[in-house]
């Protein structure tokens, strides 16, 4: 689906070597974006079968990251261009599925001062680090400014905190979102976004945690979120929150 300024595309591949799947999928997506003259990645959703399992002694999420990075290298994509917002969730069956929102203009990558940028993660998380920013801000000449917040979890620096404690993890996730919002508002030069006005999705590893997580988020004023059960990119993460924000024209004046 394409408009004058945006393109939304999905690629789905049958089950095969995940590293090869990832390479092929991103090759196809990046070529499509170039061909359609909508080359700037804004937001990506990656749905990876059995994301926390191991193939040949290597975690499947790490295999996915290697294929993705190789496709970016082939296309000439560089981190200095500003990595898009993204998430990676696990599915129980089927092949790799990737959805992408791209635009005719680039977004501004926003990072979180509480976290190491994903593409600088140390080798303990795999030979090839993930490629995404903590958020992407798209200022529009007319229409709302858009903020895409990546899947955000209980990670400080590069380490998972509060293993096994769902409530502590969702609290840390919200602290990280607040830090991202602060960075985005600083970059924009105005208080454009806040927790209460965000919309988004909450991924919980265990369905039994729904009430605990939803009650906490509602207490923070985060009322415009839906919930899905999914595996998360690290086996020790129990919850992840992704969001979008809009700022009306004139908010930066």
Beta bridge mates, 146: 138, 246
Q: Is 197 a catalytic residue?
A: no
**Active-site hit among 19, 111, 172, 240:** 240
Q: In a structure prediction context, what are the per-residue pLDDT tens digits for the chain, which is 253 residues long?
A: 899 999 999 999 998 899 999 999 999 999 999 999 999 999 999 999 999 999 999 999 999 999 999 999 998 886 655 789 999 999 988 899 999 999 999 999 999 999 999 989 999 999 999 999 999 999 988 789 999 999 999 999 999 999 999 999 999 999 999 999 999 999 999 999 999 999 999 999 999 999 999 999 999 999 999 999 999 999 999 999 999 999 875 565 5
């Amino acid at each position: 689906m394409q408009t004058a300024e945006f393109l939304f595309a999905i690629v789905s591949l049958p089950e095969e070597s995940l590293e090869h799947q990832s390479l092929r999928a991103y090759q196809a997506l990046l070529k499509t974006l170039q061909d359609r003259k909508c080359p700037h990645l804004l937001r990506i959703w990656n749905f990876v079968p059995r994301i926390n399992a191991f193939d040949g002694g290597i975690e499947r999420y790490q295999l996915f990251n290697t294929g993705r990075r190789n496709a970016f290298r082939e296309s000439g994509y560089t981190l200095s261009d500003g990595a898009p917002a993204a998430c990676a969730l696990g599915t129980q069956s089927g092949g790799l599925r990737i959805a992408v929102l791209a635009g005719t203009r680039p977004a501004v990558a926003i990072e979180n001062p509480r976290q190491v940028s994903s593409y600088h993660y140390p080798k303990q998380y795999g030979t090839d680090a993930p490629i995404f920013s903590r958020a992407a801000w798209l200022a529009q000449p007319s229409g709302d400014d858009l903020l895409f917040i990546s899947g955000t979890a209980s990670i400080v620096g590069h380490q998972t905190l509060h293993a096994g404690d769902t409530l502590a993890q969702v609290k840390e996730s919200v602290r990280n979102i607040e830090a991202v919002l602060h960075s985005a508002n600083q970059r924009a030069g105005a208080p454009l976004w806040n927790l209460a006005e965000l919309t988004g999705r909450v991924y919980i590893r265990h369905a039994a945690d729904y009430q605990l997580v939803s009650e906490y988020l509602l207490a923070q004023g985060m009322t415009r979120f839906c919930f899905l059960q999914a595996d998360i990119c690290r086996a020790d993460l129990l919850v992840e929150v992704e969001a979008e924000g809009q700022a009306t024209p004139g908010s930066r004046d």
